[in-house]
Structure 1
Amino acid sequence: MDFRHIFVPFNFYSNFMFLAPSILVFIIFLTLQIIILLIFLKAFSSRQRSKKGSNQPVSVVIAARNELNNLKTLLPKLYSQGHSDFEIVSVDDRSDDGTYDFLYEENKTQPLLKVVTVKDTPNKMNPKKYALTLGIKAAKNEIILLTDADCIPESDQWVQSMTSQFGVDTTDINLGVSLYQKQKGLLNAFIRFETINTAIQYISLALSGLPYMGVGRNLAYKKELFLKNKGFNSHIDITGGDDDLFVNKHASGKNTSVSLGSETLIYSIPKTSWSDFFRQKIRHISVGKHYKFKHKLILGLISLTHLGFWTALIFSGVLLMEPYILMSGFILRTLLLYLTFMTACKKFGVRFDLWGLVFLDFIFVFYYLSIGIRALFTKRVRWS
């Protein structure tokens, strides 16, 4: 009788244990990355079509500092929004480029527009948060919809689509997606990739019942929630965080909803130089130090496994170790990455050129490592 088949599991285990340490590390990081991508994919794949609520009154709030040209583009887009009852609250934050005069003249002819002016910011208060606080307090409606002056709604149904979720009594916060306009060049491709990648993370986790951030370019919440929790008081002196820190502190799986699709999209003007982009991202990432511990742990795990996967792949590949394992793992993760981006972009209502996805994913590792280290030691950043 042949007993050799009994020892197959033992031989497999022995062979596995005698693999080079770098290959074992690669397999561990590969496995974790596959699990993470499957969680993202499941969140988007299982999303049900959202229920439409009633046309409740909405206040669109914009804080602007020296944004004259951008306001000239944005405000007409907001005036034409297909919502039956909304106002636009534009806060002029100490502008010296003619913004005040422009808003003053607009206010004479546009009944939808309400203008709030900031002349001075109190000591130890972040200027943008102070401007937003005045705008929210001046808003006459319960539902607050936030965006920035350099943003453009993709649709004239943006206000309606981003606020319809408030027809459900349990919704206090609604998250939207804001992307960047497509332009030529590697920088623009990377900015758009980084923004979609970030959106995949925070939207998929919110859909999974674990919301941890939102973007102020496309975010809605109830005024009552803002006032009851004293607005940005817990992080008033931190530059940034008027969006993600507020959501991080007050959002839960029960009170937070998500709006997806082309009608909910906001597009922003991207940076045109690497230095400006890096400064912007350092400001954004530095705020992450103030997230709840469980969110920092999850995001740290996502970043660590991403870095570990590529590092172990390159190191083992250079040493020509187990090429079949490396190639198989690389192909499997790449297929899942493409499937995740394709599914998410379809849900977002956006087209993204996927031909360079692997390259962008590769350089993202070194970008995030560099920016993360700089953000960790950055103490002061400014609201321009």
Structure 2
Amino acid sequence: MEGIIVVLAATALSIWTVYGTVLLANIVSYKPKEKKEHPVSVIVCAHNELANLKRLIPLLLAQEHPHFEIILVDDRSDDGTYDYLLGAQTKQLKFVRVDQVHDHINAKKFALTMGIKAATHDVVLLIDADCTPASPQWISEMSGAFNEQTAYVLGVAPYEQRAGFLGNFIQFETQWTAMNYIGFALAGNPYMGVGRNMAYRKSSFLEQKGFNKIQHITGGDDDLLINDRASKNNTQIVLGAQSLTYSIPKTTWGDYIDQKIRHWSVGKHYRLKDKILLGLQNLSSLVFWLALLILAIQTDNYLIPAGLLIFRMVFVVILVNSTSKKFGYRMNIWLVPVMDIMHVGYASIFGTIALFTKKVRWKK
């Protein structure tokens, strides 16, 4: 029996290592392409985000890009956002007011659609109200990746570093997500992006009828759009410190878990091949840790489980450290082994809950 468990643990670890090797190889070998200049419409949707907008708007206006506009979509705010935007409005900064929820389409997707329709330029670049661009070159970095074939450009959006275990775990989980979607996109299989740092063509969005196929689903305005329409030939990746946007992390476990359940709940709408691809990756991690736990309890020879454990720990540190540096920031590497163990259980429990969650919402 012990021999079977050893084989099971080793097999699961081997599968997981193959995934990690593919992701690592694609990300560390990334080289930026020559950038071209495009006029850009930056779109921000906000619902009661006045404090965040006061921080974000000056940073957007300070972008060192020769030709861009900012479109703020005020989605039913009642915190003074409307009056603030009235006073801030300029030729470069425009705003669109959404006054009501529509039954036929999710509120966030409707707000985004209104912003995209109001855009003057074909390249639209998205950022959330609670985010900040990492540099004045953000617009140029992201928009410069477009060429004649490009319809979608995916960037990385880490969370601001916060002290404490939750802050470190959020950073690790976000890094793991980015490592997956960036690595697989570079391998020719873009399956998702994050709406707080991605760009696409207005013309492509409208030609394919916007969010029509997913308009009833809460969430998915970013990852489901990419999952349905992005391909090896029409998608570009941008990496580097100047192309990042940083988000404000949740401060309580309850808020963070609610956020992740909302994000993960759209995964059941992914293409079958992507559900299999990601499912096998997660399953291999879960099986490895369960098998290792059984070995630790039953075996008299701890060299084998210790060897498997050390290999996993060393590899995950190399993987996270190397890819985060390529993305343009540093992780607290000393916590990575602990985060890896916790992440498997966390993703297994709440990912399962998300699969059976029917009612999620963006904001009231």
TM-score (norm. length: structure 2): 0.98
Is contact 1:23–1:322 with CA below 8 Å preserved after alignment? no
Partner of residue 185 from structure 2, selected from 192, 201, 206:
206
2:10 is aligned to 27
1:169 is aligned to 148
Per-residue CA deviation, residues 289-325 of structure 1 (Å, 9 max, x unaligned), is 0000000000101110111111111111121254222
Q: Is 1:151 aligned with 2:131?
A: yes
The secondary structure found in structure 2 opposite 1:89 is strand
1:306 is aligned to 285
Q: Is 1:73 aligned with 2:62?
A: no
Distance 1:49 1:92 in 2: 35
Counting only pairs closer than 5 Å after superposition, residues 43-122 of structure 1 correspond to structure 2 as 43-53=26-36, 55-107=37-89, 110-122=90-102
Distance 2:50 2:31 in 1: 40
Deviation of residue 19 (structure 1)?
Answer: 5.6
Counting only pairs closer than 5 Å after superposition, residues 338-349 of structure 1 correspond to structure 2 as 338-349=317-328
Deviation of residue 48 (structure 1)?
Answer: 2.0
Distance 1:231 1:313 in 2: 47
Deviation of residue 349 (structure 1)?
Answer: 0.6
Greater C-alpha Rg: 1
- Give the counterpart letter for 2:117 in structure 1: K
- Give the counterpart letter for 1:37 in structure 2: G
Which sits farther off after the overlay, 264-273 or 113-122? 113-122
Deviation of residue 276 (structure 1)?
Answer: 0.3
2:264 is aligned to 285
2:362 is aligned to 383
The secondary structure found in structure 2 opposite 1:316 is helix
2:308 is aligned to 329
Partner of residue 135 from structure 1, selected from 101, 115, 128:
115
Per-residue CA deviation, residues 177-198 of structure 1 (Å, 9 max, x unaligned), is 0011111111111001000010
1:10 is aligned to none
Counting only pairs closer than 5 Å after superposition, residues 175-186 of structure 1 correspond to structure 2 as 175-186=154-165
The secondary structure found in structure 1 opposite 2:260 is helix
Per-residue CA deviation, residues 225-274 of structure 1 (Å, 9 max, x unaligned), is 10011111101011100000000000001110100000000000000000
Runs of 4+ in 1 over 6 A off after TM superposition: none
Is contact 2:72–2:94 with CA below 8 Å preserved after alignment? yes
Distance 1:370 1:310 in 2: 14
Which sits farther off after the overlay, 206-215 or 306-315? 306-315
Distance 2:220 2:350 in 1: 17
Is contact 1:202–1:214 with CA below 8 Å preserved after alignment? yes
Distance 1:19 1:90 in 2: 61
Distance 1:204 1:268 in 2: 21
Is contact 2:133–2:245 with CA below 8 Å preserved after alignment? yes
Distance 2:304 2:292 in 1: 10
TM-score (norm. length: structure 1): 0.93
Report the number of matched residues: 363
Per-residue CA deviation, residues 29-87 of structure 1 (Å, 9 max, x unaligned), is 0111111111111111222232211x210000011010100000000000000000000
The secondary structure found in structure 1 opposite 2:158 is strand
The secondary structure found in structure 1 opposite 2:246 is strand
